[in-house]
Amino acid sequence: MTKSEFRKRRHRLLGMMAADSIAILPAGSLKTRSRDTEYVFRQDSDFWYLTGFNEPEAVLVLVPGREHGETVLFCREKDPEFERWNGTLLGPEAATDVLGVDDAFPIKDMDDILPGLIEGKSRVYYTLGQSEAFDKRLMGWVNHIRSKVRSGARPPGEFIVLSHLIHELRLFKSAAELKVMRQAAEIAARAHCRAMQAVKPGMKEYQLEAEILHEFARSGAREAAYTSIVGGGVNACILHYIDNRDTLKDGDLVLIDAGCELDMYASDITRTFPVNGRYSPEQKALYEVVLAAQEAAIAEVRPGNHWNHPHEASTRVLSQGLIDLGILDMSLDEALDKEAYKPWFMHRTGHWIGIDVHDVGDYKVGGAWRLLEPGMVLTVEPGLYIDADDERVDPKWRGIGIRIEDDVAVTPGGHEILTAGVPKSVADIEALMAG
């Protein structure tokens, strides 16, 4: 991602702001894992989207029309002693050149400088409620300005949620973003293929997880986009199963929901395949229903359709499938009307995906489902989950959980399946596993 890509994003946001306003966006912070060890730092998604800067203890400030530059960064100063232990810091001197911001100051000077930038602005764009500590600091600065009104100071009159503006931008992926997302998808697809080829009855779920994570890491995606789900047999019916400790049994399916984070962009793939390499007739019958539902939903991804069209398509096909298999005993209209599929398909067909796996952006606009437009990227992931003790269905269907998930970009002519590199038909999966 180039410096000019980030500059373009900041200028788009500046263009959405009122004159006479200021936007304030703090970076993410380090989080303790235990005692004195920390989780790997993950930058705040909005902050990264606008800066490409990967350090904590920083704040981006946008001031439309400011004479000495509209984009201002506060960040840590260079510190050889600190850098000896913890790695290089960018420092404000280099920040203007490296990040392309107009102006940069040491974060330790923020209390002296930022109130002066807020003073006289009628509107502050800031997302309250994300950091209690920063909310307090901001209120401190504002109250300081308020205390000086008799000397002519002008405190801001309006506070507006900043994230909503940024999220509207993030919903539409640029060519550069789609390029990275394609790569993240290819890595995840390779990882799923590897798991299909590695699986054997008697293996532990975590051993398949290790195959997945190995492929991510060796491809440069050192973080998963979310904790991998590897559920053998009935574990597949727990939607967010991450225990991954059971033994994979001959005759069971295994559901893997895993995606990587590459250069801050997520992929999110689910495949469900037989531990022994061959689907049983019942597994195959249910699998074909989910696959048909997923393909019908993907076919609805095109400009002009709305957000709910893929979900409507998948629930229609799933319902018809449940009727055909004798699990539901009613007409299709009645099944859809009553949402009779819900005991076995209880989640939505997808979500936006991007810098966050469950990415930002409104799903409804003015009360109506949002129209799909080129540049949007979503997942399509219908499933069927039949618990081991589900007495509503014939015992032969019980204990089977299936989900199939791909990442799909809306293009001017329809869609592009970013995750097409991993097979999903019964024949293709069995062939890969046999090979």
Tokens of 18: 């009122």
Give the closest residue to 247 by CA, choosing from 201, 214, 211. Answer: 201
Token reading at 21: 């306003």
- The correct pick among 268, 300, 359, 406 for binding ligand GLY (CB under 6 A) is 268
Q: Which is nearer to ligand GLY, 165 or 188 (CB)?
A: 188
Q: Identify the DSSP state of 14.
A: H
Residue from 119, 257, 295, 406 touching Mn ion (CB under 5 A): that is: 257
Min CB(227)–ligand GLY separation in Å: 9
**Residue among 246 and 381 whose Cβ is closer to ligand GLY:** 381
Q: How far is the CB of 188 from ligand GLY (least distance, A)?
A: 11
Say which of 177, 257, 295, 390 is annotated catalytic.
Answer: 257
Pick the catalytic residue from 177, 381, 406, 407: 381
Tokens of 328: 């539901």
Indicate whether 265 belongs to the interface with ligand GLY (CB under 6 A).
no
Nearest to 341 by CA among 297, 294, 384: 384
Start-to-end CA distance of the chain, whole Å, equals 38
State yes or no: is 403 an active-site residue: yes
Annotated catalytic, 240? Answer: yes
Q: Which residue out of 351, 370, 387, 398 is catalytically annotated?
A: 351
Q: Which of 9, 192, 309, 403 is catalytic?
A: 403
Is there binding between residue 379 and Mn ion (CB under 5 A)? yes
> Does 430 contact ligand GLY by CB under 6 A?
no
Q: Is 428 exposed, middle or buried (0-12, 13-18, 19+ CB in 10 A)?
A: exposed
Q: Taking CB under 5 A as the criterion, which residues in 89-148 touch Mn ion? A: none
Backbone angles phi, psi at 59, to 5 degrees: -140, 130
Task: Give whichever of 290 and 325 is closer to ligand GLY, judged by the CB atom.
Answer: 290
Q: How far is the CB of 353 from ligand GLY (least distance, A)?
A: 8
Half-sphere exposure of 325 (CA within 13 A, CB side): 24
Asked whether position 55 contacts ligand GLY by CB under 6 A, the answer is: no
Which listed residue (55, 70, 119, 257) binds ligand GLY by CB under 6 A?
257
Tokens 């293709």 sit on residue: 428
| Residue 380 and residue 408 in contact, taking contact as beta carbons nearer than 8 Å | yes
Query: How near is the Cβ of 347 to ligand GLY at its closest, in Å?
Result: 8
The 3 state secondary structure assigned to 122-166 is: CEEECCCCCCHHHHHHHHHHHHHHHCCHHHCCCCCCEEECCHHHH
- Contact between 252 and ligand GLY by CB under 6 A: the answer reads no
* CA-CA-CA-CA dihedral for 278, 279, 280, 283, to nearest 10: 170
Residue 226 in contact with ligand GLY, rule: CB under 6 A: yes
Quote the CA–CA distance of 353 and 256 in Å, as a whole number.
Answer: 18
Of residues 163 and 228, the one with the C-beta less far from ligand GLY: 228
Buried b (16+ CB within 10 A) or exposed e, 101-123: bbbbbbbeebeeebbebbbebeb
385 is catalytic: yes
Q: How far, in Å, CA of 240 to CA of 347, rounded?
A: 12
Taken in order 184, 190, 194, 196, is the CA torsion positive or negative?
positive
Does 347 qualify as catalytic in the annotation? yes
**Nearest alpha-carbon partner for 225 in 263, 266, 257, 184:** 266
In the complex, what is the shortest distance from the CB of residue 41 to ligand GLY, in angstroms, rounded to a whole number?
22
36 has catalytic annotation: yes
> Does 406 contact ligand GLY by CB under 6 A?
no
Which residue in 36, 81, 389, 391 is the catalytic one? 36
- Looking at 103, 268, 300, 356, which residue is catalytic? 268
Catalytic choice (177, 405, 406, 430): 405
Nearer to Mn ion, 95 or 291 (CB): 291
Judged by beta carbon, residue 103 or residue 268, the one nearer ligand GLY is: 268
What is the phi/psi pair of residue 268, to 5°?
-155, 100
Chain centroid to CA 248: how far? 29
Based on the shown chain and the rule CB under 6 A, indicate whether residue 390 belongs to the binding site for ligand GLY: no
Q: Which is nearer to ligand GLY, 315 or 320 (CB)?
A: 315
Contacts of 109 (CB under 8 A, 6+ apart): 74
Considering beta carbons, is residue 313 or 357 the nearer one to ligand GLY?
357
Sign, CA torsion 94/95/96/100: positive
Read off the amino acid at residue 299.
A
- Does the annotation count 257 as an active-site position? yes
Provide CB contacts within 8 A for 291, sequence distance 6+.
404, 424, 425, 426
Q: Which option in Mn ion, ligand GLY, none does residue 226 bind, with CB closer than 5 to 8 A by kind?
A: ligand GLY
Task: Report 336-365 residues binding ligand GLY (CB under 6 A).
Answer: 351, 357
Residue 192 bears catalytic tag = no
Q: Is 186 an annotated catalytic residue?
A: no
Chain residues that interact with ligand GLY, rule: CB under 6 A: 226, 257, 268, 351, 357, 381, 405
Query: Which residues are catalytic, by number?
Result: 36, 240, 257, 268, 347, 351, 358, 381, 385, 403, 405
Chain residues that interact with Mn ion, rule: CB under 5 A: 257, 268, 270, 379, 405
